[in-house]
């Protein structure tokens, strides 16, 4: 994954790498849904209440994302020149 992140952000950063490891174990774990939960807003329109098009059940405990958030904030100053790293 570090090579992907270097390509994505244009520079290596161990803190951002650690944040993505958390994301890999939570949001992108692939246990229930291959690519993670989807937004109900982006779901396919249907009047069928039994449809299974949109998977909104989370594959993880939302609290498990908090370390990733903290790490991304911590990495934001070093990554501020990367157009693909969103910092607030």
- Quick one: which of 60, 83, 86 has its CA closest to 72? 86
pLDDT bin (cut points 50, 70, 90) of residue 30 is: confident
pLDDT higher than 70, residue 55 = no
Question: Are 24 and 30 in contact, with CB atoms under 8 Å apart?
Answer: no
Question: Are 34 and 54 in contact, with CB atoms under 8 Å apart?
Answer: no
Question: Are 33 and 55 in contact, with CB atoms under 8 Å apart?
Answer: yes
pTM: 0.72
pLDDT bin (cut points 50, 70, 90) of residue 51 is: low
pLDDT bin (cut points 50, 70, 90) of residue 28 is: confident
């Amino acid at each position: 994954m570090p090579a992907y992140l270097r390509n994505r952000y244009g520079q290596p950063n161990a803190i951002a790498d650690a944040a993505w490891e958390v994301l890999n174990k939570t949001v992108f774990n692939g246990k229930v849904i291959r690519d993670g939960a989807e937004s109900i807003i982006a779901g396919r329109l249907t009047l069928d209440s039994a449809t299974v098009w949109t998977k909104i059940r989370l594959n993880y405990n939302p609290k498990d994302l908090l370390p990733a958030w903290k790490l991304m904030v911590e990495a934001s100053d070093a990554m501020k020149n990367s157009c693909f790293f969103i910092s607030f």
